[in-house]
Amino acid sequence: MLIVDEVQSGMGRTGKMFAIEHSGVRPDIMCLAKGLASGMPIGACIARDDIMDWHKGAHASTFGGNPVALTAAMKTIELLQNGLIDNSRDVGAYLEAGLNKLKDKYDCIGDVRGLGMMLAVEFVTDKQTLKPDAELRDRVEMECYKRGLIILGCGGNSIRWSPPLILAKEHVDVALEIFDEAIAASC
């Protein structure tokens, strides 16, 4: 049985409704939350019919049936289907291209990877050894913060780019300019 955790990667984040769709694999069970209702407290467990064939009363949920969260989820799904998934794919590709230009500019960027608006920039001491540089990542993160760009470190030496799905290319241009300045100030 394949159980897929789409709590962070689902709901359009990667340029498709669910990240697993990029692989062509169909999971048996999928777990959702976070983006499901645009920040409202809700989670979902989706499974094949033969797995979720429970008798009435066999399942309960702390947040099950919350009308406000359910309404937010329905509206979120509508917005995703009416353009936000496409925006995640298109603007995410634009962001990735800009980050790759910075990778070509700076020896301290070892990798840019991800899908849609779920990207990571890995910081290294140099491109030959690709030795992780967590301290540089932390300096870049702080320099971005000082300039008004809030980003988050992830893993040992990477910065995660996970912006709102409403992000426009004009916003990306500003973010990339700040990121470039922060890297230059940190190296």
Identify the pLDDT of residue 59: 74
Q: pTM, whole model, 2 decimals? A: 0.91
Say which amino acid occupies 22.
H
Cβ burial of 132 (10 Å; 0-12, 13-18, 19+) is: middle
Spatial contact of 34 and 7, defined as CB atoms under 8 Å apart: yes
Question: What pLDDT, on a 0 to 100 scale, did the predictor assign at position 105?
Answer: 98
pLDDT at 183: 98
Q: Distance between alpha carbon 180 and the CA centroid of its chain, in Å?
A: 21
Predicted local distance difference test score (pLDDT) of residue 55: 83
DSSP character for 82? I
**What pLDDT is recorded for position 77?**
97
Strands (E), 19-170: 29-32, 44-47, 109-115, 118-123, 152-154, 158-161
pLDDT tens for the chain, 187 residues: list them. 999 999 999 999 999 999 999 999 999 999 999 999 998 989 888 999 999 888 887 777 666 678 999 999 999 999 999 999 999 999 999 999 999 999 999 999 999 999 999 999 999 999 999 999 999 999 999 999 999 999 999 999 999 999 999 999 999 999 999 999 999 999 8
Q: What is the pLDDT of residue 75?
A: 98
Q: Quick one: pLDDT at residue 48?
A: 93
